[in-house]
Amino acid sequence: MIALLITLLAPVAGALVLAVLRPLGPAGWLNVAVSTITFGAAAWLTWTVAASGEIAGYSFRVDDFNVYLVALTAFIGLTTSIFSRPYMRHVCDTVLTRKRGMRVYHSMYQAFMFTMLLALTTDNLGVLWVAVEGATLATVLLVSLYRTPEAVEAAWKYFILCGVGIALALFGTVLTYFAAQHVVSDPSAGLTWSTLYRHAGHLEPAVMRLAFVFLLVGYGTKVGLVPMHQWLPDAHSEGPTPMSAVLSGLLLNVALYAVVRLKMLVDGSLAASAAPHLAGYLLMGFGLLSFLVAGLFLHRQRDIKRMFSYSSIEHMGLMTFAFGLGGPLATFGALLHMLVHSLTKSAIFVTVGHAAHIAGTQSIERIRGLIRTQPAVGWSLLIAVSAIAGFPPFGVFTSEFLLLTATMQAQPWLTVALLSGLAIAFAGLFRHLHPMVYGAPPEGQKPVRANMLPVAIHLALVLWLGLAIPGFLAQWLDRATELITGSHLL
């Protein structure tokens, strides 16, 4: 419990202190320090849960499913903060005239971490909603940090679309609470997920069905599911690069986590009804649509960050599809994919940040010859994109392979769609990647100071997961799988 408290309170304290800390240098270091404390506490929490099972109480609940995301969130939060310190300093020295913007940046970075962790650990569906909405509020000012017309537009779009989506999710939450009132005797426990899950079988199917549609559309907006994805490419491409990394690597995961938790409730409620797999089918439909549409859109992109945000949509679609497919194999694969995608995608965004600095633009057509100008950045980009595209030695390959196998078992004809989607996305990525890495560098292109350590760590982890999933992690994911689907894989 103490570990949990530290995990949650460290970012809050950090946000408050950073909100008043004016000098930029210490603020950057403090940001890293707070992230380190958070990560330490999260690791401790993880160890506690792994050793002695789930922690529940005070309307918090940490079980095998969310503790793994807590650890992932804290870890990526840490590495991104390490990356962001010199990066944002650089931005600040060169373009950002308003130093106040940097205070907002650091403070909101920690506030964002807090909302993410709160959303993951809370047991109350209402608090979950508040936290996810809070994550939007924390990040929306960061997207418009540069104050260019494009950035302001992206932020406004992000704000409005996510605000609307999340409002629909609140309606779904109200409906869930309504259904719970007939089942749970204590009305104040009517939004507690674990209580609801125990009584899921008695929740009124008609109401839960309607509630899930609203919840899926609401949280699905945050996941970036097509057709509610419009905000995502804009927000990712116009915000500062560290923000893109955490948005893509973390926020989407948390939203998907919420969807999966709710799906578990709805599945329980619909189990005896005429359409028991309704929630699963909905997820599969939205997931597959996002997967295919985003894969096609990859080809048309001209902005490098925009391209990778479409890649995020594609992968979120794949995970959504897998969770919808259900069953231990698909769920295990989806959990693994969540992990490797977050690691790889945040590594990509960090690399892309450096690449954009080298080329002085985000336009794909004008980023050329990275590998000659600065081999570290060029190679990282090449490796990271190979990883995300699903090349064999990396973890993404493993998880995608598992997902394909699961699909082949459950819905064989959908494998065709998945495979062609993967091929389209692969072609889209490499078509743009090749000239960026190997092309002739323009005159006078100089290397920049880059800290490739976070990237190296992330890619090494992904490689490790691809070569051999360590036993404890496999056990752990397996326990999460059991929690979600009710049966073991291993």
Task: Give the footprint of another protein on residues 130-149 (CB under 8 A).
Answer: 130, 133-134, 137, 140-141, 144, 146-149
State residue 385 phi and psi, 5-degree precision.
Answer: -70, -35
Q: How far apart are CA 189 and CA 185, in angstroms?
A: 8
Torsion over CA: 45, 484, 79, 380 (sign): positive
Closest by CA to 177, choosing from 127, 137, 136, is 127
Nearer to another protein, 88 or 329 (CB): 88
Q: Is 308 in the site for another protein (CB under 8 A)?
A: no
Nearer Cβ to another protein (57/486): 57
193 binds another protein (CB under 8 A): no
Contact window for another protein (CB under 8 A) among 48-56, 77-85, 302-310, 454-462: 302-310
Residues 113-132 that bind another protein (CB under 8 A): 124, 126-127, 129-130
- The minimum distance between CB 127 and another protein, in angstroms, equals 6
Give the tokens for residue 328. Answer: 């231990």
The string of DSSP codes covering 13-57 is HHHHHHHH---HHHHHHHHHHHHHHHHHHHHHHHHHHHHH--EEE
Residue 3: CB partners within 8 Å, gap ≥ 6?
A: 41, 42, 44, 45, 48
* Residue carrying the six token digits 């336009």: 363
Judged by CB under 8 A, which stretch of 186-194, 284-292, 316-324, 397-405 contacts another protein? 186-194
Please, which residue, 52 or 97, has the CB nearer to another protein?
97
Q: Looking at 150, 376, 464, 473, which residue binds another protein (CB under 8 A)?
A: 150
Sign of the CA dihedral with 308 first, then 312, 318, and 322 last: positive
User: How far apart (Å, rounded) are the C-alpha atoms in residues 435 and 364?
Assistant: 9
400 binds another protein (CB under 8 A): no
Rounded Cα distance between 472 and 480, Å, is: 12
Interacting span for another protein (CB under 8 A) from 11-19, 37-45, 185-193, 322-330: 185-193
> Looking at 238, 400, 478, 482, which residue binds another protein (CB under 8 A)?
238
Task: State how far the Cα of 49 lies from the Cα of 59, in Å rounded to an integer.
Answer: 17
Q: Residue 354's closest CA among 377, 331, 321?
A: 377
Nearer to another protein, 147 or 277 (CB): 147
CB of 156 to another protein, least distance (A): 6
User: Is residue 303 at the binding interface for another protein, with CB under 8 A as the rule?
Assistant: yes
Stretch of residues binding another protein (CB under 8 A), selected from 22-30, 270-278, 297-305, 369-377: 297-305
What is the Cα–Cα distance from 10 to 110, expressed in whole angstroms? 9
User: Residue length, the chain?
Assistant: 490
- State yes or no: residue 362 binds another protein (CB under 8 A): yes
Give the residue, chosen from 63, 64, 123, 234, that forms a contact with another protein under the rule CB under 8 A: 234
Does 351 help bind another protein (rule: CB under 8 A)? no
Of 206, 271, 440, 490, the residue at the interface with another protein (CB under 8 A) is 206
Q: Cite the DSSP H helix spans in 277-413.
A: 278-298, 304-325, 328-359, 370-373, 375-388, 395-410
Q: Which stretch binds another protein (CB under 8 A): 194-202, 269-277, 428-436, 445-453?
A: 445-453
Contact status, residue 476 vs residue 64, Cβ threshold 8 Å: yes
98 binds another protein (CB under 8 A): no
Tell me how far, at minimum, the Cβ of 164 lies from another protein, in Å: 6
Site for another protein in 377-396 (CB under 8 A): none
CA–CA separation, 245 vs 80, rounded Å?
7
Say whether residue 174 binds another protein (CB under 8 A).
yes
CA 80, 85, 91: angle at the middle one, nearest 5? 110
Residue span binding another protein (CB under 8 A) among the ranges 11-19, 74-82, 183-191, 317-325: 183-191
Q: Nearest-5° angle of CA 391, CA 245, CA 329?
A: 45
Shortest spacing between CB 71 and another protein, in angstroms: 25
The minimum distance between CB 18 and another protein, in angstroms, equals 17
Residue from the set 9, 17, 44, 177 that interacts with another protein by CB under 8 A: 177
Identified binder of another protein from the candidate list 34, 358, 384, 489, rule CB under 8 A: 358
Q: Which of 352, 360, 340, 316 is nearest to 242 (CA)?
A: 352
The minimum distance between CB 446 and another protein, in angstroms, equals 8
By C-beta, is 189 or 463 nearer to another protein?
Answer: 189
* Nearest Cα to Cα of residue 236 among 184, 325, 158: 158
Which of 11, 14, 28, 190 touches another protein (CB under 8 A)? 190
The partner residues of 303 in beta bridges, in order of sequence, read: 363
Residue with smaller CB distance to another protein, 285 or 447: 447
Q: Which stretch binds another protein (CB under 8 A): 89-97, 336-344, 416-424, 427-435?
A: 89-97
Contacts of 104 (CB under 8 A, 6+ apart): 19, 141, 142, 145
Task: For residue 343, state whether it binds another protein (rule: CB under 8 A).
Answer: no
Residue 296 interacting with another protein (CB under 8 A):
no
